[in-house]
Amino acid sequence: MAYDVGWLPSLKNTKEPRALFVHLPGRKKEAVEKLLRTYMVHLFEELKVERNDSINAELTIATFEDLDESPLADLGEEGFQIETSDNHTTIKGETERGLVYGIFYLMKQLQLGNKLHTIDVFERPASPIRMINHWDNMDGTVERGYAGRSLFFEDNAFIYDEKRITAYAELLASVGINALTMNNVNVHEVETYLIDESLLPDVAKHAAIFKKYGISLYLSINYASPIVLGKLDSADPLDKAVISWWKKQAEIIYRHVPELGGFVVKADSEHRPGPFTYGRTHADGANMLQKRLNHLEELFSGVVSFMTVCKTGEIVQPIERERHMIISLNWMVNSRKMSSYKSKVGQWISKCENRLHHCLAH
């Protein structure tokens, strides 16, 4: 299948007529090495990558642990530093994810005409979750999609084109995306089974590819899953049987896909049930799901992104939805993945609360 891999092939148009020797100390870094051999190779006449020999190296790419150095304060797991000294440039990061972002940043600067040993930068993402939200259906269609059919599905089955998915993961990482929802937030009956053991092994294969490039895979889930999959009579978030079902199902999901970023949920929309169906709030629904993931936190860490859609003509529900989203966002802040961003997200929540108070006053 022919497909466009975005801006990355344009690297072939800017090549320095010289060799570059790269040193990769420490443990093997699969994504880093692939980026070097697939893309950086186009920027120089010759590219030589060594894991042990550093004598002739002009570029070192390594974690602080590889260099026996202490991590820089405030750099975080996804940040990177590029520094140059005595005609030698080093890309440093706390994790391989940071190194991947550093490589893409370096390649961009080289494409812009900047010389290797003139680049010094300290970068850290401002937002902890930078998600692209696919609206792909398992029949291969894409709701509100205007650029072809699904990357992941066809004829109600997974395609699993490893080469294409890898190229897509590289493209997303090159612009800083670190999260991806693979299926439509309007979850139909077939897609409901994405959290069932029959399809979770296929989800795991995709999650493993994206993980190499620092991207967490999320699943859009059907809020009525306890009815469709669990054969319960209700999806009431305060029903003990429903709570128990989600607890067991979360354990099954993360046993198959430990890399899963979490769930995206759209409820009480498109004639689908949600918390309002049972006289509950969206806070009840979001917090019930997040608690089920928090139950797994010693082994796994997941985030619930609970969407609210205001299509009613009544003013009460939109205001209630905004209030409840603030509550569920506080759950997200308290999850382990968000801990280093508590201050920034907390400030954003305060702004939402102020806007809510303004709405109530008018």
Looking at every residue in the chain, the average pLDDT score rounds to 83
In angstroms, the Cα distances linking 222 to 96, 196, 317 are 34, 12, 21
Assess whether pLDDT exceeds 60 at residue 227: yes
pLDDT value at position 267?
85
Residue 216 pairs in a beta bridge with 179
Provide the percentage of residues in the chain whose pLDDT is more than 90. 54
User: Exposed, middle or buried by CB within 10 Å (0-12, 13-18, 19+), for 133?
Assistant: middle
pLDDT band at 313 (very low <50, low <70, confident <90, very high): very low
CB 32 within 8 A of CB 66: no
Q: At what angle do helices 162-174 and 30-38 cross, to 10 degrees?
A: 90
CB 310 within 8 A of CB 334: no
CB 248 within 8 A of CB 292: no
Answer left, alpha or beta for residue 54, where phi above 0 means left and psi between -120 and 50 means alpha: alpha
Q: Average pLDDT of 283-298?
A: 80
The amino acid at residue 184 is N
Assess whether pLDDT exceeds 90 at residue 165: yes
Domains of the chain listed by start with CATH number: 11-123 (3.30.379.10), 131-361 (3.20.20.80)
CA–CA distance, 196 with 225 (Å, rounded to integer):
10
pLDDT value at position 80?
96
- Is the pLDDT higher at 249 or at 298? 249
CB 64 within 8 A of CB 82: no
CB 263 within 8 A of CB 218: yes
- Is the pLDDT higher at 312 or at 85? 85
CA–CA distance, 248 with 98 (Å, rounded to integer):
34
pLDDT value at position 351?
60
The CB density around residue 7, as the number of other CB atoms within 10 Å, is: 12
Assess whether pLDDT exceeds 90 at residue 145: no
Q: Please tell me the pTM assigned to this model.
A: 0.83
Q: Average pLDDT of 220-242?
A: 95
Among 297-311, 325-339, 345-359, name the most confident range.
297-311
CA–CA distance, 251 with 31 (Å, rounded to integer):
29
How is residue 184 annotated by DSSP? Answer: -
CA–CA distance, 352 with 27 (Å, rounded to integer):
44
Among 173-182, 265-274, 321-330, name the most confident range.
173-182
Strands in 179-181's sheet, in edge-to-edge order, are: 131-133, 179-181, 216-221, 262-266, 303-307
CB 269 within 8 A of CB 311: yes
Q: Look up residue 226 and give its two tokens.
A: 């306890």
Q: Look up residue 355 and give its two tokens.
A: 């806007």
